Amino acid sequence: MQQRRPDEPHDVSPKQLAAHFCMGALIGTLGALFLVFSHASRIHQLFWANAAPPTAIMVFVAFCALMVANGASLTGLIFSAMEAERVAAQRRRPPHRRT
């Protein structure tokens, strides 16, 4: 037997936010590493022309990863809240019948 769901919207779970944050961090890290090691980018020329210390490269990669992860988690929060509200509104509204 199915359990009846409540009519109020569900909160966005921290597990969903953590998943979006991790996906964003991975995409940001891969993008930053591509920029650092791609010979076609100006970022590569900036770091390797002056023989920048590895710490500067690590800070650049971490900053890019953090910025993309924050954006992904905020976007996930907004979309999850919109979806929860849409589902709750459908349950509150009676089905529309044609006559």
pLDDT, one tens digit per residue, over 34-45 is 998 888 878 888
To 5 degrees, how large is the angle CA 77–CA 80–CA 83?
150
Confidence check: pLDDT of 1 > 60: no
Q: Could you give the count of Cα atoms lying within 13 Å of 70 in the half-sphere of its Cβ?
A: 5
Domain that holds residue 49: 15-90
3 falls within a domain: no
In a domain, 98, yes or no: no
Question: CA-CA distance, 68 to 21, in Å (whole number)?
Answer: 8
pLDDT tier at 10, thresholds 50, 70, 90: low
Instruction: Let me know if residue 83 belongs to a domain.
Output: yes
pTM: 0.74
Domain count, the chain: 1
What does the pLDDT look like over 45-99, one tens digit per residue?
A: 888 887 778 898 899 999 999 999 999 999 999 998 888 888 888 777 766 666 6
| Residue 99 resides in a domain | no
Answer yes or no: is 78 within a domain.
yes
Distance set, CA 32 to CA 36, 57, 75, 81, 88 (Å): 6, 9, 20, 30, 40
Does 20 or 93 have the greater pLDDT score?
20
Residue 82 maps to a domain: yes
**Inside any domain, residue 9:** no
Q: Is residue 95 part of a domain?
A: no
